[in-house]
Amino acid sequence: MKGTMKGAYLPGNSTVVLKDVPIPEPGHGQVLVKMKASTICGSDIRAIYREHVGRGPEGYQNKIAGHEPCGQVVEEGPGVRRFKKGSRVIVYHISGCGLCHDCRMGYMISCSSPLRAAYGWQRDGGMAEYVVCDEKDLVQLPDSLTYTDGAQVACGFGTVYEAIQKIGIGGNDSVLVVGLGPVGLATLMLCRKLGAQKLYGIESNPYRIELANKLNLADKVLLPADTNAGEIKDLTGGRGVEKAFDTSASDPGRQTAIRATRQWGKIAFVGEGGTVNFNPSPDIIHDQKTICGSWVTSIWLMENLVEELVRWNIHPEILVTHRFPLEKADEAYRLMAGGNCGKVAVCFDEELK
Ligand SMILES: [Zn+2]
Ligand SMILES: [Zn+2]
Residue percentage of the chain with pLDDT more than 70: 100
**CB–CB of 167/192 below 8 Å?**
no
Same domain membership, residue 168 and residue 135? no
CA distance 168 to 129: 38
User: Does one domain contain both 11 and 142?
Assistant: yes
Is residue 336 one of the residues assigned to a domain?
A: yes
Cα(49) to ligand 2 centroid in Å equals 27
Distance CA 313, CA 311 (A): 5
> How confident is the model over 284-312, as pLDDT tens digits?
999 999 999 999 999 999 999 999 999 99
Each as own residue / partner, the long-range contacts of residues 106-115 (CB below 8 Å, 24 or more positions apart, any chain) are 106/298, 106/299, 106/300, 106/301, 107/296, 107/297, 107/298, 108/137, 108/298, 108/299, 109/57, 109/295, 109/296, 109/297, 109/298, 110/295
Judge if 38 and 140 occupy the same domain: yes
User: What's the pLDDT score for residue 72?
Assistant: 98
CA of 57 to the centre of ligand 2 (A): 12
User: Confidence band (pLDDT; 50, 70, 90) for 349?
Assistant: very high
Domain-ending residue, one of 263, 293, 323: 293
Burial class (CB in 10 A: 0-12, 13-18, 19+), 29: middle
Both 29 and 109 in a single domain? yes
User: Alpha-carbon dihedral of residues 109, 298, 179, 329, nearest 10 degrees?
Assistant: 60
> Are 68 and 317 within 8 A, CB to CB?
no
SS3 at position 120: coil
**DSSP assignment letter at 209:** H
Does pLDDT of 34 surpass 90? yes
> Is the same domain home to 278 and 342?
no
Whether pLDDT at 54 is above 90: no
Residues 18 and 98 in one domain: yes
Residues 207 and 282 in one domain: yes
Q: Residues with Cβ < 8 Å from 286, sequence gap 6 or more?
A: none
Q: 203-242, pLDDT tens digit by residue?
A: 999 999 999 999 999 999 999 999 999 999 999 999 999 9
Q: What is the pLDDT of residue 250?
A: 97
Q: Residue 304 domain-assigned?
A: no
What radius of gyration, in Å, describes the C-alpha atoms of the chain?
A: 20
What DSSP state is assigned to residue 7? E
Expressed in angstroms and rounded, the spacing between residue 111 Cα and the centre of ligand 1 is 16
- Give the dihedral sign, CA 282/283/288/293: negative
pLDDT of residue 173 exceeding 90: yes
Q: What value does the mean pLDDT take over residues 138-145?
A: 98
The rounded Å distance from CA 100 to ligand 2 centre is: 4
Same domain, 9 and 105: yes
For the chain, the average pLDDT equals 97
Q: Does residue 306 form part of some domain?
A: no
Asked if 270 and 160 touch (Cβ cutoff 8 Å), the reply is: yes
pLDDT surpasses 90 at 316: yes
pLDDT of residue 353: 80
- For residue 197, the model assigns a pLDDT of 93
The whole-angstrom separation of Cα 302 and Cα 326 is 26
Span from the CA of 330 to the centroid of ligand 1 (angstroms): 18
How many angstroms separate the alpha carbon of residue 277 from the centre of ligand 1? 26
Distance (angstroms) between ligand 2 centre and the Cα of 195 equals 35
Report the separation in Å between the CA atom of 342 and the middle of ligand 1, taken as the mean of its atom positions: 14
Closest ligand (CA of 114): 2
Give me ligand 2 centre to Cα 142, in Å. Answer: 27
The answer to whether residue 301 is domain-embedded is no
CA of 119 to the centre of ligand 2 (A): 15
Task: Decide if 196 is inside a domain.
Answer: yes
What is the 120 CA–ligand 1 centroid distance (Å)? 10
Q: Is the pLDDT of residue 81 over 90?
A: yes
Q: What range does the domain containing 276 cover?
A: 159-293
Q: So what's the pLDDT on residue 1?
A: 84
Binned at pLDDT 50, 70 and 90, residue 68 comes out as very high
User: If you measure from the C-alpha of residue 181 to the centroid of ligand 1, how many angstroms do you get, rounded to a whole number?
Assistant: 12
What's the Cα-to-Cα distance from 329 to each of 3, 23, 345, rounded to whole Å? 21, 19, 9
pLDDT band at residue 319, thresholds of 50, 70 and 90? very high
CATH number at residue 60: 3.90.180.10
296 alpha-carbon distance from chain centroid = 7
Q: Is residue 152 part of a domain?
A: no
pLDDT of the residue at 8 = 98
170 and 127 belong to one structural domain: no
Residue 299 resides in a domain: no
- How far is the centre of ligand 2, averaged over its atoms, from the C-alpha of 106 (Å)? 9
* Mean pLDDT, residues 249-265: 98
Which ligand is nearest to the Cα of residue 186, counting in written order? 1
Nearest Cα to 108, choosing from 136, 130, 74? Answer: 136
Ligand nearest to the CA of 107: 2
Q: Is residue 300 part of a domain?
A: no
> How many separate domains does the chain show?
2
CATH number at residue 266: 3.40.50.720
Ligand nearest to the CA of 299: 2
Do 174 and 103 lie in a common domain? Answer: no
Confidence of residue 264 (pLDDT cuts 50, 70, 90): very high
Whether 139 and 216 share a structural domain: no
Q: Average pLDDT, stretch 108-122?
A: 97
Q: Are residues 140 and 188 in the same domain?
A: no
What's the 97 CA to ligand 2 centre distance in angstroms? 4
Distance CA 211, CA 194 (A): 21
Ligand nearest to the CA of 100: 2
Rounded to the nearest angstrom, the distance between the alpha carbon of 235 and the centre of ligand 1 is: 32
Instruction: Please give the distance, rounded to the nearest whole angstrom, from the Cα atom of residue 155 to the centre of ligand 2.
Output: 18
